[in-house]
Amino acid sequence: MAAKLIGTSWKMNKTLPEALDYCAALAQGAPLPHQLQPFVIPPFTLVREVTQAFKKAGINCLTGVQNMHFADQGAFTGEISPLMVKDTGATLVEIGHSERREFFGETDETVQLKAAAALRHGLTPLICIGDSLREKQWGVSEETVVRQMKAALAGLAPESVARVIIAYEPIWAIGEHGVPATNDEARTMHQRLYLALEESYGGKIAHRVPLLYGGSVNHDNALALLSLPHVDGLFIGRAAWDGASYLQLLKTIATRC
């Protein structure tokens, strides 16, 4: 894994003019640092326009969608299929975010089905896993996130697993009032996830699966988090929702990578 993955999901934010302003701000720094692989995951309504704006400006920034159904087509009102995702030009599919699990009934089973469907269509699943505050207090965080990861990858061939991105996002660290994981907490969890991949698929495959950290990442802690073993990138929230702020983060990180 040569390039560090540094990206953000806008969640349910931004209109088209705001999105294009963001793209324009990012274009001010083009070409972006070659040692990083930036990515942006807009709302569905903006994916095509953002993807085209990056391409037109010569910005090396991947785009993705925030959810996807596992069926190619059908009577699933309000859903987006893998074929529709590909039609937008996006290449990433965010799957299993804790908000999808909490508010919209996402389960380990549907995460697995969606991951398999994404891979089947040449898309890259970005699978989110995370522990709740109560699970942390109970001391079962490691078991929780390893189970979520193993369930998401169940039934996949090793070469398919190597095409997946895993994002560890502790639920207690997400959001406006989230508390970032300490370096020790992030180090411990990423080491455990890597070992679980190694045990299941061998070191060669485990080394090819990027493990991202997400949860209250900001300008103050980004470099320290990236310096930890098996932290292969960052999934950033609010600190990257402004184009100029995201660009500055990329430049700062690039000086140390």
Compute CA distances 227 → 4, 187, 253, whole Å.
11, 10, 10
Q: Which of 97, 135, 190, 230 is catalytic?
A: 97
Distance CA 218, CA 228 (A): 16
Evaluate whether 89 touches 123 at the Cβ level (below 8 Å): no
Compute CA distances 186 → 50, 99, 109, 236, whole Å.
31, 20, 26, 15
Evaluate whether 182 touches 215 at the Cβ level (below 8 Å): no
Residue 219 annotated among the catalytic residues of the structure: no
Distance CA 67, CA 11 (A): 10
Segment 140-144 long-range contacts (CB within 8 Å, at least 24 positions apart) = 141/170, 141/189, 142/188, 142/189, 142/192
3-state helix, strand, coil split of the chain in percent (to 5) is: 50, 15, 35
Q: Which of 69, 135, 169, 190 is catalytic?
A: 169
In terms of Cα–Cα distance, which of 3, 73, 69 is closest to 39? 3
Residue 169 annotated among the catalytic residues of the structure: yes
Distance CA 218, CA 80 (A): 31
Q: Which residues carry out catalysis?
A: 97, 169
